[in-house]
Amino acid sequence: MLLTTVLHLLCLASLAAAFLFNRASWDGLKVTWGMDTHNPNTFAALPRQESEAKQDGWTKIADCDKRNAVVSFLRQQQVSGVRYVKDNDYSIILLFDRNGYIAGIQCGNGTDPVSHSIHIPMRETGLATTSWTKGHCFAYMGMHYWHNLTADMSCEYFFPAFLLYNKGALTAFGWATGLGLTSKRFEHPPHAAFSSFLNPVPLCLNQYAQLSTMHIYFTSDPTAIAC
Ligand SMILES: *[C@@H]1O[C@H](CO)[C@@H](O)[C@H](O)[C@H]1NC(C)=O
Ligand SMILES: *[C@@H]1O[C@H](CO)[C@@H](O)[C@H](O)[C@H]1NC(C)=O
């Protein structure tokens, strides 16, 4: 169905950004990559319904109001941005629609995500005519795509979100930033690992000993993602 073939990525500043998605075609919502699947932080399940979020101890931080409303450009209607965080950890802000279903995810520290929007294709083939550049495939992650990556780029232009495709289908996305973010939701790949997912590795990243990244999955079984 056409409506489910697009995600909206809204990006404000380097760290405040949101993904809004249609809930129909994915069977899970999990966060944080890791090889140690026994670690409770690895592939941690996130609630996909507001009722579940309340049960799991998430706290409402904002109701939908005019200022917070995020316009769905596809359907020309507003997605209610009822927002929840867990344990005061703003690394993940869940957005639920007015029916209590997951509508999106925001990463940041409170800034409004309303700015410009990019449509993300559900199929990898849809990236062919875009500025997304192919990175590398990694186990339990998938094939990375980065926005407009070049070796000599300035890191000011390093887009803090990436896309992940598995068998040609959008399966996950993530955030990546040079800021030292400490939430347990973030992974911290060292510089030596950058070439495992970035291609090319921008030279400007040489000043970073590590990145803070977060993988967010739309599948209930990230360990099924192979390369
Ligand atoms: C949150 O925003 C404030 C003000 O914009 C900034 O100074 C601070 O570094 C941000 N915190 C994080 C974790 O990015
Ligand atoms: C790609 O990045 C270059 C700078 O590295 C910039 O001049 C150009 O406008 C960017 N293109 C897009 C489509 O973002």
Greatest CA separation for the chain: 48
Average the pLDDT over 94-122 and give the result: 68
Confidence label for 121 from pLDDT (cuts 50, 70 and 90): confident
Listed residue (31, 6, 9) closest to 19, CA to CA: 9
Strands (E) across the chain are located at 6-11, 17-20, 30-31, 44-45, 58-62, 70-72, 77-79, 82-86, 89-96, 102-107, 116-121, 132-138, 142-147, 161-166, 169-177, 212-217
Least confident of 90-94, 125-129, 148-152, 215-219: 90-94
Q: What is the pLDDT of residues 150-208, one digit of tens each?
A: 999 999 899 888 999 999 999 999 999 998 889 999 999 999 999 999 999 999 999 99
- Tell whether the model's pLDDT for residue 46 goes beyond 80: yes
- 71 pLDDT exceeds 80? no
Residue with the bigger pLDDT between 1 and 75: it is: 75
Q: Which residue has the higher pLDDT, 187 or 91?
A: 187
Residue, of 127 and 64, whose pLDDT is higher:
127
Share of the chain above pLDDT 70, in %: 76
Indicate whether residue 131 lines ligand 2 (CB < 6 A): yes
Indicate the average pLDDT of the chain.
81
Strand-pair partners of 210:
190
Residue of the CA atom closest to atom 5 of ligand 2: 153
> With 50 as the cut, is the pLDDT of residue 2 above it?
no
Rounded Cα distance between 190 and 114, Å, is 32
Cis amide prior to 113 (ω within 30 degrees): no
The DSSP annotation for 94-134 comes to EEE-TTSBEEEEEESSS----SEEEEEESBGGGGTTSSEEE
**pLDDT at residue 83, rounded to an integer:** 86
Q: Is 203 in the pocket of ligand 2 (CB under 6 A)?
A: no
- What radius of gyration do the chain's Cα atoms show? 17
Q: Which residues contact ligand 1 via a Cβ below 6 A? A: 15, 109, 179
Mean pLDDT to the nearest integer, 101-125: 67
Q: Is any ligand 2 atom within 6 A of the Cβ of residue 148?
A: yes
Q: Give CA–CA dist 134/143, Å, rounded.
A: 8
Q: What is the pLDDT of residue 144?
A: 98
Query: Which whole number is the average pLDDT over 48-71?
Result: 78
133 Cα–ligand 2 center, Å: 12
Whole-structure pTM value: 0.80
Ordered by start, the domain boundaries in the chain are 30-38+119-224, 47-106
Residue nearest atom 4 of ligand 1, based on CA coordinates = 109
Identity at 224, one-letter amino acid code: A
Q: Which is higher by pLDDT, 126 or 65?
A: 126
Pocket of ligand 2 contains residue 150 by CB under 6 Å: yes
Res 26: pLDDT = 80
Instruction: Locate 151 and state its tokens.
Output: 């070796």
Tokens of 77: 């209607």
Centre of ligand 2 to C-alpha 148, Å, is 6
- Match 């510089």 to its residue by tokens: 191
